[in-house]
Each structure stands twice: as C-alpha cells, then as structure tokens.
Amino acid sequence: MTRLFGTDGVRGLANKTLTASLALKLGAAAAEVLTREVHSSKRRPVAIVGRDPRVSGEMLAAALAAGMASRGVDVLRVGVLPTPAVAYLTDDYGADIGVMISASHNPMPDNGIKFFSAGGHKLPDDIEDEIENAMSELDEEGPTGHGIGRIIEEAPDARERYLHHLAHAVRTDLSGIKVVVDTANGAAFDVAPAAYRAAGAEVIAIHHKPNAYNINDECGSTHIDQIQAAVLEHGADLGLAHDGDADRCLAVDHEGHIVDGDQIMAILAVAMQEKNNLRENTLVATVMSNLGLKLAMDNAGISMVNTKVGDRYVLAELNARNLSLGGEQSGHIIQPAYSTTGDGLLTGLSLMARMAQTHSSLQELAQVMQVLPQVLINVPVSDKNAILDDPSVRAAISAAEEELGETGRVLLRASGTEELFRVMVEAASEDKARAVAGRLAAVVAAV
C-alpha cells in the first residue's frame, strides 16, 4: 500500500487526491496521536494552522480545523504566513500541534499538509505512520459539550510575533542595501518585504499580489529569470527569490548571476566560522551539493557532512550532532539556533547582513566558492532498484571516477517518486561533465 505521507507531509492534487474529507480525517487522527499526553494531563491541547494563498488552502484549513476540534483541540488559525513562521509560532504560542497547508513550489492546483509537533519540529516517520494508521481506526463519535475544541479564526498578533523573531535573530542594520524580492505570489507576499524593510533595506517587491490562483505562476525561486531581470532593471544590489511557502531562498547578484543554496551556505559558513558560531566547524549538506562547495569548505578548514536528498535529513543530522548550519542546493537553509526548519526570510536577512558587515557585494562574497559544471540526466528504467547491482554499471562508474580524479564527481541514485535513475556528473568543464554523464546514462539505459 502506498504511504500517505511523503518526504514533506501529505501532498497531492487538491480536491482529487487531497480532499476535504481526507483533511478532516487527517486532522482528527493527528489530534489523537499528537495530544495523547496533553489529554492525560487534563489540559486543553492547542493547534496552530497556517496556509499559503492558493485557493484550496481555505477549504483544507477549514476541514483540518474541524477534524482537530472534533477531538477536543482548540485551533488557532494564523492565516497566510510562511511555513517557518508556522513552525516558530507553534513553539512561541506553546501549541501542541502546528499545521501548514502548502504545496511549496508546486503549481496552484496542488496542495499539501505539513505537521509540526510541540516546539515546531517536523514529525519523524514513525509518528507519521501512527497518524496514518489512526485514520482507519477513528471512532465516528468524539467528545461532546465542553469537550469539543474551539476554532479561533484569526490570531491578531501572529504576523508581528514572527517579524519580531526575525528582527531579533538578525540585528544588522541593512541601510544602503537595495534588494528586489520575488515572493512567488505566495505565503511571504507581505511578510518578506516587511521583514527586509524593518531591517533597513530598500525593498522592491515583485510577484507579491496573490489572488488565490497565481502562486508560483512563472515566478519565485523556480523561475529565477524573473528576479534576474528585475535586479538589472532597478539597479539593485541583489535579488532574493522565495518559493510558495518561503522555506527556501535563492539569490542573484547585482549583475543577475545566480547565487544558489550551495553558495549561500558557503558564504554563511565562513561568516559563522569567523564568529566562532559554526559548531564543530562543520556544515551539513546533501549528496547533491556541488563538489565546489566541498572544495571551498576544505580551503576554509570547514568539515562537511553529507546526507540523503531532502531537508528533513539535513535537519536530522543537525539535531543529532547539535550543529548550527545546513541546507540544500535548492535554497533550503537551516540555522537551528533560530529556526526548526528551513526559513527563506532568515536566509535572506543573514545574507544581506554578511554584505553589510563586510561592506562587500554579493558577487564578491560568492567568490568563496567556485561552482563546478554539473550535468544531471534522468534515465527511464524498468527496475530502478537493480541498477547499482549491475556489473556493467559498476564498471562504468569506476572508469568515470578514475577519469575525473579529484577534479570531478559521479553520483547515481534512484528517483524517490518515479521509475527513473538519476545520473549526475560534475567536472572541471561542462563539456567533460556532459561527455561522462552521457556515457554513464547510456550504460544505465542498456540495463
């Protein structure tokens, strides 16, 4: 049976695979699992519910809130706010459950439901499995009378709490920095420009007028060309592009060159190292991070730990080792001292703070890392789990690694969602990377 929860909550086509009735049951089941200890202490449990602006979020938020209230949970709806804001507010309000309704960078017809436990932490797999199992075991009847939870439709100070948190986390005056921010017509449409202005930056906002249907529509971090053009048009010092729920941030410098998550991590790691804030002098990244990041960290005397692809695995490693910085090439950057999940606004503020503190342009800061050409080929296969066991594939990998030596890298892995095998090669030149990747892809396709 297919697991309901994926790598980042429950996601699907709204009103088809992700329906209001499913959300109702999911809310009730989550309440049962995540508030057992609270109920036993005879305290009324509390849940925080936020969403991005897509049209189906209103429907799903109502259903989820009803499901949790039917199990005796008081629900505080905080409206349209970023995912990291909901995680923070779950802790700040002392809530027992946090729920964010968003499909992140996915197109508008999709939606998703992400849960946080007390303290604003993402759920481990075993708890998600408990919730999924509880859905089929729910009693039709719940508490009655005073036992039914209340639904508070709008938290009046949620936005201000989050803005205050960001201002406290990054206290550098950003006066003199001109930034363009693309909010993807998403959850940060209002709060991102407000946070950057509050820090002193001159802000030009684009794609900041959501209408329930235009989230991620040719804008945001998945359409970086929009922010590139805007930075050049306005003569800005940099541009920051968020995705629909603003847990990620990509940047462009004053000439429109992309500064991706790997480069941002390199900049922040060196900054934290200088201030003795980089715990164990170690950065956590995934196996998909560019080899140039490792070379840059080696040059700076910073160790790297690699995890599987997915910010949840980065976060797990950060928590397990009590480390202070990690992230993904896609722009999910996690700073556990200030956030329990990736926070695109915190990333943007931290990046501009480094510019202000060093009196350097983003382009100058990004030179700490040389991005090696990276080629990724997705190869359709009949059995993705058998590829790495094939002798011809193993021989081709060994030959490629010997050919590239210390100047390149090979990574082959199965797709987590499709019958594809991903062939990734990095090399000193793009021609070399394409040639090696093409040969490897041909061997994989022949298996």
Annotated binding site for Mg(2+): 104, 243, 245, 247
Give the pair of three-digit tokens for residue 316: 């797990």
Q: How far apart are CA 323 and CA 321, in angstroms?
A: 5
SS3 state of residue 181: strand
Q: How far apart are CA 392 and CA 327, in angstroms?
A: 34
Tell me which residue of 315, 327, 241 sits closest to 290, measured CA to CA. 327
Tell me which residue of 102, 103, 100 sits closest to 122, measured CA to CA. 100
Give the pair of three-digit tokens for residue 188: 């940060």
Longest dimension (CA), the chain: 72
Instruction: Kindly tell me the number of DSSP H helices and DSSP E strands found in the chain.
Output: 15, 19
Burial letters for 275-314: b for 16+ Cβ neighbours within 10 Å, e otherwise? eeebeebbbbbbebbbbbbbbbbeebebebbebebbbbbb
Q: How far apart are CA 130 and CA 200, in angstroms?
A: 46
Cross-strand pairs, 286: 307
Contact predicate 93/156, CB 8 Å: no
Question: Residue 289 catalytic?
Answer: no
Sign of CA dihedral 272, 84, 204, 156: negative
Q: At CA 202, angle to CA 198 and CA 206, rounded to 5?
A: 100
Q: How far apart are CA 424 and CA 160, in angstroms?
A: 43
DSSP state for residue 292 in the 8-state scheme? H
Q: How far apart are CA 227 and CA 236, in angstroms?
A: 10
Give the pair of three-digit tokens for residue 73: 């949970």
Which residue out of 56, 70, 102, 104 is catalytically annotated?
A: 104
Q: How far apart are CA 143 and CA 251, in angstroms?
A: 50
Tell me which residue of 74, 87, 84, 12 sits closest to 46, measured CA to CA. 74
Contact predicate 293/266, CB 8 Å: yes
Cross-strand pairs, 384: none
Cross-strand pairs, 412: 423
Catalytic positions, written as ranges: 104
